[in-house]
Chains A and B, each alone.
Chain A
Amino acid sequence: MKAKILILHASGTNRHHEAKEACELSGASADIVHMSALKSKPSLLDDYQALVLAGGFSYGDALGAGKRLALELNLNLQDSLQHFNAAQKGILGICNGFQALVQAGLLPALEDNSASLSHNNSGHFECRWVRLMPNVKSLSPIIQKLKGPIYCPAAHGEGRFLTAKALPESHVAFYYQPQYGQMTIQYPDNPNGSQAAIAGVSNARGNILGLMPHPENHIYAWQHPRYRRGEVEGSGLALFQAFVDFIP
């Protein structure tokens, strides 16, 4: 039977259709469910093996990126999310979804450390393609399945990952990787100034995963910006396939 994935659509989310397409191409079935439907019936979550919080600008980011979505998760869905997490089902947060998971305390979920996604160092919205290196020391079984880097666009204003204390390396899912052969990572390859060039993180068990860039926007070869130069590497589909494979 196909794995069933719920794609959460909060008002202002805009990448849910791409996320659904990526999940379906990876062999899962995916339903886009609006937050209002889930709030009125949180038990809906029980029908699914995985949850994707898609990117966009939920609630206009009026309280800060992902903050109100985080409040909604904690106030209205806390019990069902706890069950979901306890069953080690998969949760993937992309961009705004990642911001919400961090603001809600679900990532990196360390008792003695706090994390945030702050305004980019550049002081403005960054929209550019970035190269993501999966962390070989990651504890997440999803990340461990990845064979190579992912190349996909980042598009955010608040993506600088910061923690009060240094994040244990095992919680890092992705690092921004230098492009064009540089040895050190710097702007713009690290688009936001994240500490240690962290692009994505996981919880300790690795079933909850979040990242700022958009792997769902590179799921066909022709989406590569240099496709007409014959470059095809780094499909974001690899992450969705690993995510679907992970689903129990």
Chain B
Amino acid sequence: MLKPFVGIYNHGSSDAAVIKPLNSKGQKAIAISCGINPRYSIDPYHMALSAIDEAVRNAVAVGANPEELSLLDNFCWGNPNLPDRLGSLVKAAEGCLAGALHYQVPFISGKDSLNNEYISASGERKAIPGTLLISAMAMVPDIEQVVTMDLKKAGNLLYILGFSRDELGGSLLLETLKLKGGKVPSLSAQARERALALHQVIAQGLVQSCHDLSEGGLAVAAAEMVIAGGVGLELQLANLPSEALSSLTKLFAESNTRWLLEVDPKHVEALENHFKTSHVPHAQLGHVSEKAELNISHQDENLIHLTWAELDKAWRGHVLEVSA
């Protein structure tokens, strides 16, 4: 029902797929999502927590119920007979345990691929980065509640749900800048409550589009929504729920359990009331604009100004020829 690619040109990256099995009766469907980030292998415990969080938030973003969700793990590692490989494997497994207990979701199966090692040109024995893929399967109560990540309509408002921290370890930003260091994202003690709060507003039909924040953080998520929707976003980061952060970190931190939500003005009151009652951090960052470009500012400082064509070219690697 929901494909891996969505949006006006079927080329926006969906958070999850939704499948309604042939001959299945009623309105229920199944969401299938993934979480993975080999850059976080510098901290295997938090890599595991982040992979679980990403799989869960992807599923919840499309309308799945986090209380009817199960997980699979897939470990790709080096030779576990070597102490450092085994140590990181144990740390990742501990992260899986903590994440599953936090979200109160079962691991129903899993797989491993070990001994992925090679001898480098200089004769040194190397392992691949210990990488954990988490898959989630979750029930979508009603296919008519499914939400996609493409922006729908100018005039709608854009909200963020979640809290941004100084978490740039293993981030796309540091890789792009060829820098090291920083903290790999952790898991908030409130993550499950946020997922439940989001599911409830989606189930009430209050959300027009929703996209999780993952690699590249807020800036990349917003760009993806613009690319898929063919309309623009005007965002202001002054109100972003966060620690004290530089504007660069606000744009690109990869803190877990965050989503961008497009909300019709007529649903703003209901949505805000629900989030306030649930005590989840949220803020209105701006609105969807007719002009197809991404503008992000922080108080008086313009941080990002990119047209749809520039974003689309960066995403596809070439220009889409459209004469419509």
Restricting to B22-76, which residues have a CB under 8 Å from any CB of A? 22-23
Restricting to A189-231, which residues have a CB under 8 Å from any CB of B? 222-223, 225-229
User: Does chain A have a CB within 8 A of B288?
Assistant: no
Closest to B153 in A: A229
Number of residues on chain A facing chain B (CB within 8 A): 16
1/0 contact trace for B5-16 toward A, CB 8 Å? 111111000000
| Contact A17 B22, beta carbon cutoff 8 Å | yes
Restricting to B183-239, which residues have a CB under 8 Å from any CB of A? none
| Contact A222 B1, beta carbon cutoff 8 Å | yes
Residues of A contacting B148 in the complex (Cβ-Cβ under 8 angstroms): 228-229
Given contacts A183-B323, A222-B1, A223-B1, contact A228 B22 (CB under 8 A): no
Contact of A228 among B5, B147, B321, B322 (CB under 8 A): B147
| Contact A226 B152, beta carbon cutoff 8 Å | no
Restricting to B83-134, which residues have a CB under 8 Å from any CB of A? none
User: Does chain B have a CB within 8 A of A18?
Assistant: yes
1/0 contact trace for B293-324 toward A, CB 8 Å? 00000000000000000000000000001111
Contact of A226 among B10, B143, B323 (CB under 8 A): B10
Q: When chains A and B are docked, how far (Å) is the Cα of A222 from the Cα of B2?
A: 8
Q: When chains A and B are docked, how far (Å) is the Cα of A42 from the Cα of B7?
A: 47
Given contacts A222-B20, A228-B146, contact A128 B10 (CB under 8 A): yes
User: Does chain A have a CB within 8 A of B150?
Assistant: yes
User: Does chain A have a CB within 8 A of B3?
Assistant: yes
Closest to A231 in B: B8
Contact of A181 among B6, B147, B323 (CB under 8 A): B323
| Contact B324 A129, beta carbon cutoff 8 Å | no
Closest to B22 in A: A17
Residues of A contacting B8 in the complex (Cβ-Cβ under 8 angstroms): 226, 229
Contact of B152 among A21, A180, A229 (CB under 8 A): A229
User: Does chain B have a CB within 8 A of A182?
Assistant: yes
Given contacts A223-B1, A228-B146, contact A181 B10 (CB under 8 A): no
Residues of B contacting A223 in the complex (Cβ-Cβ under 8 angstroms): 1
Residues of B contacting A129 in the complex (Cβ-Cβ under 8 angstroms): 10
- A180-B9, A182-B323, A226-B7 provided; 11 other pairs, C-beta below 8 A? A17-B22, A21-B22, A129-B10, A180-B323, A182-B321, A182-B322, A182-B324, A226-B6, A226-B10, A228-B6, A228-B148
Lowest 10 A-B CB distances belong to which pairs?
Answer: A181-B324, A180-B324, A228-B148, A225-B10, A222-B1, A225-B3, A180-B322, A17-B22, A222-B143, A182-B323
**Which A residues are within 8 Å of any B CB, using their own CB?**
17-18, 21, 128-129, 180-183, 222-223, 225-229
**Which B residues are within 8 Å of any A CB, using their own CB?**
1-3, 5-10, 20, 22-23, 143, 146-148, 150, 152, 321-324
Would you mind naming 24 contact pairs between A and B with Cβ atoms under 8 Å apart?
A: A18-B22, A128-B10, A129-B10, A180-B9, A180-B322, A181-B322, A181-B324, A182-B322, A182-B323, A222-B1, A222-B20, A222-B143, A223-B1, A225-B3, A225-B6, A226-B6, A226-B10, A227-B1, A228-B2, A228-B6, A228-B147, A228-B148, A229-B8, A229-B152
